[in-house]
Amino acid sequence: MSAKNVLSLLSLSKRFGTTLANDQVTLDLKRGEILALLGENGAGKTTLMNMLFGHYLPDEGSILISNAEDKMVPLTPGHPQAALAAGIGMVHQHFTLAENLTALENITLGSEPLWALGTNKVKVREKIEKIIKRSGLKVDLNVAVGRLSVGEKQRVEILKALYRDAKILVLDEPTAVLTPQEADLLFKNIQAMTLDGLSVIFISHKLREVLEFSHRIVVLRNGKKVGEILTCDADEKIIANMMVGEDAKVLKRTKLKVGQSLLSLSAITLKGNSLRNSLSDISLVVHEHEVLGVAGVSGNGQSVLAELISGLSFPNLGEIKIGSNRIDKPSPMAMISAGIGRIPEDRHRDGIVGSMTVAENAILESLNDPRVQRFGFLRQEAMTDYAEKLCEAYDVRGPGVRFPARLLSGGNIQKLILARVFEKLPSLILANQPTRGLDLGAASDVERRLLDARNRGAGVILISEDLDEILRLSDRIMVMYSGELKEVSSRNREEIGMLMAGKNK
């Protein structure tokens, strides 16, 4: 491609306290190009985009953007209004939509004066419909956004940017909440839009979609740009190495003969307060030496399934058996004593008590252990020793075990929870979104430990939105949709994706 530049970031730096979030990052974007911005968590991708959009003021460097006459002019830093006016549209990971307004109202919100909407409605609608036709982003404009699906909401966000005549679209992890089909559709639409001259930067963790849909890849690490490669010259290994800076270890799952049943749920029905929190007639079995992957778009009952296995929810109907014992009164304590280790989805809310020390969090589930307490009193020294050993074995890095756990980073909090769970040698591990929000290094560490546990003889229930992760780790795969659980024998992405979207062949 030899198109002209529409955007140049010139050696942008941003410092937060003592950390250098962005260090002299230089980046060009061409007209009609799809640029993928890759990097681990904390690599500085979001900071960079926030500077572009004017949320942050860069400490050094400048931004050039092409104006109407195709000349590169400097962009006023630190002013979102200026970025909007210059044609930059940003779609955040968490949507910023008013749920009770219609799609049409959301799209025009902020760019059309409210009182003029009545008179301009026809013109406004025509403009949006033209954009929809050109981009292929199909949305029912008259429906309240709250009733749209996640994929549709995202389309509304993009339409909102396009309505403001965005020339450059920034998407922050756009596919995190989409089914594979929705994601593919999104990228097809984006490709169509770039033919009209739109330029796109998207932030992603998923190597597959980056390789499939981008033109060029820029990799950030520790705030620096460490690599730039045309997608046609790249493969997964090259990019992964750029991201972590060393040879990424490839996980190997050897086939094992499964042992006896560890946990079985039969015909469980649980009526929650909404469909998202209900289970209808689900059954599953997990055996020794087995990883059972539960795939699905979040909000289809995974949380309540996890609560059930954690002992936090009670089924209305059905039977839970651990080994050969029926569990009549599930409770977290009963599940822990039965040898179930639980890695919660929301680790900050359910996993740790942030204001208590790392050491105290390390023993949160072992308060009855004589190694930790004697006559109802905690053995401070034993506790600290235990926590220190644990932190070393599981590579939990932070200010020390006597400091509040909330000072740890997300990845280290997860490692602490993992340490707490694995140290008890659980016979069954429930891992709910265990790598969500973790960087590549921490995530592959978590995955490796889950496989180690399986090889040792434990059973693992892995609930994840990341289909690639499910495919990598699981011996068997089930798909959750709308509170129902179906086993799939195939390992075909398309087929699993169809089930995730609720479509039976």
Partner 1 sequence: MIRIEARNSPPMLLKVGVPIFAAFVSLLLAAIPLAFAGANIGTAFVEMVRGVFGSVFAFSEMLTRATPLIFTGLAAAVAFRARLWNIGAEGQLYLGAMAAVAVGTGVLDVSGIILIPVIIIIGCFAGAFGMAVPVILKTRFGADEVVTTLLLNFIVLILVQMMLEGPLKDPMGLGWPQSSPILDQGMLPVLLDRMRVHSGLIIGLILALVLQLLITRSVWGFKLRAVGENIAASRHAGIRINRSLLSVAVCSGGLAGLAGVSEVIGLKGYLTADISPGFGYTGIVVAMLAGLSPVGVVVAALFIASVFVGADSMSRAMGVSSYLADLVVSMSLLCVLIGGFFAHYRVAWVSAPAKVKK
Asked if residue 199 lies in contact with residue 29, where contact means CB atoms within 8 angstroms, the answer is yes
- Which of 346, 452 has the CB closer to partner 1? 346
49 to 68, contacts with partner 1 by CB under 8 A? 57
Q: How far is the CB of 410 from partner 1 (least distance, A)?
A: 15
**Which DSSP state fits 112?**
B
Q: Distance between CA atoms of 39 and 207, rounded to whole angstroms?
A: 10
Q: How far is the CB of 407 from partner 1 (least distance, A)?
A: 6
Stretch that binds partner 1, among 27-35, 128-136, 258-266, 342-350 (CB under 8 A): 342-350
Angle between helices 180-195 and 150-163 (to 10 degrees): 20
**Residue 76 binding partner 1, by CB under 8 A:** yes
Q: Which long-range contacts (CB under 8 A, 24 or more apart) does 331-339 make?
A: 335/309, 335/310, 335/311, 336/311, 336/365, 339/424, 339/426, 339/427, 339/428
Q: How far is the CB of 198 from partner 1 (least distance, A)?
A: 24
**Which DSSP state fits 72?**
E
**Residue 78 binding partner 1, by CB under 8 A:** yes
- Which of 141, 364 has the CB closer to partner 1? 364
What residues contact 253, with CB distance under 8 A and at least 6 apart?
291, 451, 472, 473, 475
289: left (phi over 0), alpha (psi -120 to 50) or beta: left
Asked if residue 72 lies in contact with residue 65, where contact means CB atoms within 8 angstroms, the answer is yes
**Residue 115 binding partner 1, by CB under 8 A:** no
**Residue 380 binding partner 1, by CB under 8 A:** yes
- Which of 113, 376 has the CB closer to partner 1? 376
Q: How far is the CB of 397 from partner 1 (least distance, A)?
A: 16
φ/ψ (deg, to 5) at 263: -140, 135
Stretch that binds partner 1, among 168-176, 236-244, 377-385, 452-460 (CB under 8 A): 377-385
Locus of tokens 């000349």: 71
The one among 119, 273, 274, 355 contacting partner 1 by CB under 8 A: 355
What residues contact 414, with CB distance under 8 A and at least 6 apart?
343, 347, 351, 434, 435, 438, 442, 446
- Which of 57, 251 has the CB closer to partner 1? 57
The one among 360, 439, 447, 484 contacting partner 1 by CB under 8 A: 360
For the chain, the helix, strand and coil percentages under 3-state DSSP, each to the nearest 5: 35, 25, 35
**Residue 351 binding partner 1, by CB under 8 A:** yes
Stretch that binds partner 1, among 170-178, 206-214, 269-277, 310-318 (CB under 8 A): 310-318
The one among 336, 391, 430, 479 contacting partner 1 by CB under 8 A: 336
Q: How far is the CB of 340 from partner 1 (least distance, A)?
A: 11
Asked if residue 303 lies in contact with residue 276, where contact means CB atoms within 8 angstroms, the answer is yes
Size of the site for partner 1 (CB under 8 A): 36
The one among 254, 324, 377, 381 contacting partner 1 by CB under 8 A: 377
**Residue 353 binding partner 1, by CB under 8 A:** yes
Q: For residue 277, give the nearest of 305, 308, 312, 301 by alpha carbon.
A: 301
**Which DSSP state fits 503?**
-
State how far the alpha carbon of 334 is from the alpha carbons of 221, 288, 328, 424, in Å. 44, 20, 10, 15
Q: Which helix (DSSP H) or strand (DSSP E) does residue 487 occupy?
A: strand 484-488
- Which of 245, 410 has the CB closer to partner 1? 410
The one among 3, 367, 393, 425 contacting partner 1 by CB under 8 A: 367
Binding mask 457-476 for partner 1 (x = CB under 8 A): --------------------
- Which of 219, 429 has the CB closer to partner 1? 429
- Which of 69, 233 has the CB closer to partner 1? 69
**Residue 410 binding partner 1, by CB under 8 A:** no
- Which of 8, 373 has the CB closer to partner 1? 373
3-state DSSP assignment of residue 139? coil
**Which DSSP state fits 350?**
I
Footprint of partner 1 (CB under 8 A):
57, 76-79, 82, 310-312, 331-333, 335-336, 342, 344, 349-356, 360, 364-365, 367, 373, 376-378, 380, 403-404, 407
